[in-house]
């Protein structure tokens, strides 16, 4: 499958998952929904691996990195995301994930010493400017409410969403370490999601959250969509893309998804963007096109690609 098609699949699916998460917020605790989502996704991936005849066991050096990936990519990131959507509209959370265009290269720089090109900063600045324009009015209203003695839930949601973006970027960097031990993307995803599920489940049990089974059809429809499409298919496309073009380019999926989220809000939530919001969407798309067309880094620079040496 071509890289542009993988990019489009992940962007289109994740652009809708931020809204789909809202279908699960009232039935059970957010952490419990995360356990259900990635537990189902992990089981599906393991079954697919068995159907292909894969050997499921992996050595501890590989499991060590998959545990770290599970912590950042599937545990901390999604606990924060689900809780953030209790206080922020789903599309705004999607907008904040565009900040990963900065966090990814910074995390890669800290972990591997990967140089950060001026083009990355410039395209990221354009992208962030665009997504800021998308929700300029919503942010202004929320800030005015806080200044007037409001609840401050907006700031809590903002902090949770920012934590989720940083955690996701840290997980993206770990992908290269996982792939250095195993080229079986589906199997490593299954293990990483399982580790993340176990960690979230332990935290939910320790904090006294009840594992109930909701009866609302919309909850289960959202769960199936988030597990099968948002987790199994989208993450498969995304991690494959990281190994092809690097995380610093693949992360621009997170710039396209807010645009899709806004379009869904227009259809489902009667959101009507003005000229400023429309200009913001154009800036987002332009920054993606510019960043993705940038030349790929050399093997010595691309520490986040599959050219990494074997991890001891």
- List, in sequence order, every beta strand (DSSP E) within 186-245: none
Which residue, among 135, 16, 34, has the nearest Cα to 75 in the 3D structure?
A: 34
Q: Quick one: pLDDT at residue 193?
A: 94
> How far, rounded to the nearest angstrom, does the alpha carbon of residue 2 sit from its chain's CA centroid?
21
Judged against a pLDDT cut of 90, whether residue 33 lies above it is answered with yes
* Maximum average pLDDT range among 13-22, 141-150, 257-266: 13-22
Summarize the confidence of residues 199-228 as an average pLDDT: 93
> How far, rounded to the nearest angstrom, does the alpha carbon of residue 26 sit from its chain's CA centroid?
22
Judged against a pLDDT cut of 50, whether residue 298 lies above it is answered with no
Label residue 294 by pLDDT band (50, 70, 90).
Answer: low
- Return the structure tokens found at 173: 């960097």
| Angstrom distance (rounded) from CA 121 to CA 19 | 29
Label residue 269 by pLDDT band (50, 70, 90).
Answer: low
| Angstrom distance (rounded) from CA 20 to CA 253 | 18
Which residue, among 235, 227, 284, has the nearest Cα to 260 in the 3D structure?
A: 284
Q: Quick one: pLDDT at residue 265?
A: 74
């Amino acid at each position: 499958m071509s890289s542009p098609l993988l990019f489009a699949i992940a962007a289109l699916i994740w652009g809708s998952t931020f809204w789909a998460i809202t279908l699960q917020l009232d039935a059970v605790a957010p952490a419990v929904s995360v356990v259900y989502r990635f537990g189902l996704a992990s089981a599906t991936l393991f079954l697919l691996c068995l159907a292909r005849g894969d050997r499921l066991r992996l050595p501890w050096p590989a499991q060590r990195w998959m545990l770290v990936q599970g912590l950042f990519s599937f545990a901390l990131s999604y606990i924060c995301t689900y809780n953030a959507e209790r206080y922020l509209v789903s599309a705004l959370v999607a907008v904040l994930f565009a900040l990963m265009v900065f966090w990814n290269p910074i995390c890669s720089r800290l972990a591997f010493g990967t140089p950060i090109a001026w083009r990355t900063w410039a395209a990221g600045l354009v992208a962030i400017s665009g997504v800021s324009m998308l929700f300029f009015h919503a942010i202004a209203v929320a800030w005015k409410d806080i200044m007037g003695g409001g609840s401050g839930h907006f700031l809590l949601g903002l902090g949770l969403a920012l934590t989720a973006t940083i955690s996701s970027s840290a997980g993206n960097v770990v992908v290269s370490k996982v792939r250095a031990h195993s080229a079986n993307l589906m199997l490593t995803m299954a293990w990483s999601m399982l580790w993340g599920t176990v960690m979230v489940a332990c935290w939910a049990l320790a904090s006294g959250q009840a594992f109930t089974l909701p009866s609302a059809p919309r909850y289960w429809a959202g769960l199936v969509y988030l597990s099968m499409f948002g987790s199994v298919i989208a993450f498969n496309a995304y991690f494959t893309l990281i190994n092809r073009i690097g995380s610093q380019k693949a992360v621009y999926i997170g710039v396209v998804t807010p645009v899709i989220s806004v379009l869904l809000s227009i259809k489902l939530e009667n959101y009507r963007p003005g000229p400023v919001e429309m200009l913001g969407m154009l800036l987002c798309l332009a920054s993606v096109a510019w960043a993705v067309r940038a030349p790929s880094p050399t093997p010595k620079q691309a520490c986040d690609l599959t050219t990494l040496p074997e991890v001891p």
